[in-house]
Amino acid sequence: MREVRLIDESGQQIGIIPTREALMIARERGLDLVEVGATSNPPVCRLMDYGKYRYEQSRKERETRKNQHVSRVKEVRVEPKIGEHDLETKGRQAERFLKAGDKVKLSVLFRGRSITHPELGRDLLQRLSEQLSEVGVVEQGARMEGRTMTMYMAPARPRSDGSDKKEQD
């Protein structure tokens, strides 16, 4: 006859008893006999309400998923010959993305002969990073990738849900 080490619902160890007896104790108490340590000798079993346990586990998982924010990378594209007002508009768009908690990829697209002046693209990215310095930090500096110069920015701090305001009061 196989024996198991039995732990009751409060976590107290009952001892090593035959499997049939453990099942009878579980039925008497209206609980389930759940094997929690199959590799040990003898196997460890616990008395618990398995349905309630599964329900609580699913609630915990749902709660952790609710508090997660999936960070996406949004792209803002500009060209070296962009106007001042258009650059400010693109900056506000990137600011909105950063405030929402997303990362931003700032890209300068070089077309035709404009590729001969990469310093113009670097200046544009520098101006954008200064404009966004309050809401974001430069994660990766300006780099040429083919005909495109890119720079990555991340939100300056994680999105707050008002908890930091409570700490200040």
Tens digits of residue pLDDT in 2-53? 889 999 888 888 889 998 999 999 999 899 989 888 888 889 999 999 999 9
- Same domain? For 56 and 104 the reply is no
Q: Confidence band (pLDDT; 50, 70, 90) for 158?
A: low
- Same domain? For 105 and 142 the reply is yes
- Same domain? For 135 and 107 the reply is yes
- Same domain? For 83 and 57 the reply is no
Average pLDDT of the chain to the nearest whole number: 85
Give yes or no for residue 164 having a pLDDT over 50. no
Report if residue 161 sits inside a domain: no
Domain hosting 37: range is 3-67
Q: 35 exposed, middle or buried (CB, 10 Å; 0-12, 13-18, 19+)?
A: exposed
Domain count for the chain:
2
Give the residue with greater pLDDT, 68 vs 21: 21
Stated pTM of the model: 0.54
- Same domain? For 99 and 59 the reply is no
